[in-house]
Amino acid sequence: MNVIDVTNLTKRFGAATVVDHIALRVASGEIVGFLGPNGSGKTTTIRMICGLLTPDEGEGTVLGYDVIRESRRIKAQVGYMTQRFSFYEDLTIEENLYFVARLYDLKPRAATVAATLADLGLATRRHQLAGALSGGWKQRLALAACIMHRPRLLLLDEPTAGVDPKARREFWDEIHRLAAAGLTVLVSTHYMDEAERCHRISYISYGHMLATGTVDEVVKQSGLHTFIVRGALTADLVNALLNLDSVAQVAPFGAALHVVGLDPAKLSTELGAFAAERGLTVEPGATSLEDVFIHFMGAGDRPSAPARAT
């Protein structure tokens, strides 16, 4: 069963088309990563899915409800965690959760708040002011508030921005625990390691959906090929490599360069000649999701950019 199943979803603000006829499907219990550069339409898409914005065009269902006509029913069963911390900083953790419990009219209120505090590991900090929390604990409070009404769908809009790596890992462990219990998750992120923890990813740029699938499928769909160049990495080497017709990207990784292109035969031939001339070594490498991300960022503003689905 698809918890999210929308097609041709479109949103315009004045003359600008922010989301342009995209399709998105997310199955029950899936964690889907929503990738794309700033201004790509991720947040607008998420707000249309949860009923906060009405699409100008498109159709489909979220949680079995019509995305246009039944948005109020969708809102009641969705947890939405925004980019910015949006709780009262002069209230304690517990007081903030009581406030959310009243908004949803959750009963018995005290037992619900206590269970949420315990479930998210917040009980020992229940009396701490929200404004005094670190980024990781603020994130945990926000997640607790989003799931205390037992939503069926969780929408996370860049939830780990500004959070340290340990807190990010703990957050993702919690997301996988929730998904294993049946919660469906759509999460926008800029972090490639987070995207790789998702069951599938969807990449949007300039309002167009460019690719959808598992990480391996999206990397394969991109058509990119990578070679690793090692040797004396002089200051002019990157620019010299970028001047080769077959080279699309060059990125330093430690003491090596990752060179990426679309034509593996031509890339291998040109790099072989270049390396022989400069005393370098070349060997095949694995294309990373970051390579694909950078490639899509350059390609996504083309009106003909294809949307692929699996």
Is the Cβ–Cβ distance between 260 and 268 less than 8 Å? Answer: no
- The reported pTM is 0.88
The reported pLDDT for the residue numbered 307 is 41
Sole residue written with tokens 């400069």: 278
Q: What is the pLDDT of residues 258-280, one digit of tens each?
A: 999 999 999 999 999 999 999 99
Largest CA distance in the chain: 75
Identify each DSSP E strand in the chain by its residue range: 2-13, 16-27, 31-35, 57-62, 65-66, 78-81, 153-157, 184-188, 200-205, 208-213, 225-230, 249-253, 256-261, 281-285
> Quick one: average pLDDT of 216-228?
95
Name the band, by pLDDT with cuts 50, 70 and 90, for residue 299.
Answer: low
Residue matched to tokens 């167009």? 208
The rounded Cα 110 to chain-centroid distance in angstroms is 34
Strand-pairing partners, residue 253, are 256
- How far apart are alpha carbons 195 and 186 in whole angstroms? 11
What's phi and psi for 39, nearest 5 deg? 80, 10
Domains along the sequence of the chain with CATH: 2-218 (3.40.50.300), 225-286 (3.30.70)
Q: Is residue 240 exposed (0-12), middle (13-18) or buried (19+ Cβ within 10 Å)?
A: middle
Cα torsion through 146, 147, 151, 152, rounded to 10: 110
Query: What average pLDDT score do residues 3-24 get?
Result: 96
Please report which confidence band the pLDDT of residue 82 belongs to, taking 50, 70 and 90 as the band edges: confident
Mean pLDDT of 27-33: 96
Rounded percentage of the chain residues whose pLDDT exceeds 90: 79
What's the pLDDT band for 38 if we cut at 50, 70, 90? Answer: confident
Determine the Cα angle at 200 with ends 198 and 202, to 5°. 110
State how far Cα 170 lies from the chain centre: 17
Is residue 303 very low, low, confident or very high in pLDDT (cuts 50, 70, 90)? very low
Read off the pLDDT band of 310 (50, 70, 90): very low
Separation in Å, CA 267 to CA 228, 260, 263, 272, 276: 12, 8, 6, 8, 14
| Distances 13 to 40, 51, 185 between C-alpha atoms, Å | 14, 17, 27
Q: Give the C-alpha distances (Å, rounded to integers) separating 27 from 2, 67, 108, 154, 189.
A: 4, 16, 32, 13, 19
pLDDT in tens, 88-145: 999 999 999 999 999 999 999 999 999 999 999 999 999 999 999 988 899 999 999 9
pLDDT of res. 1:
83
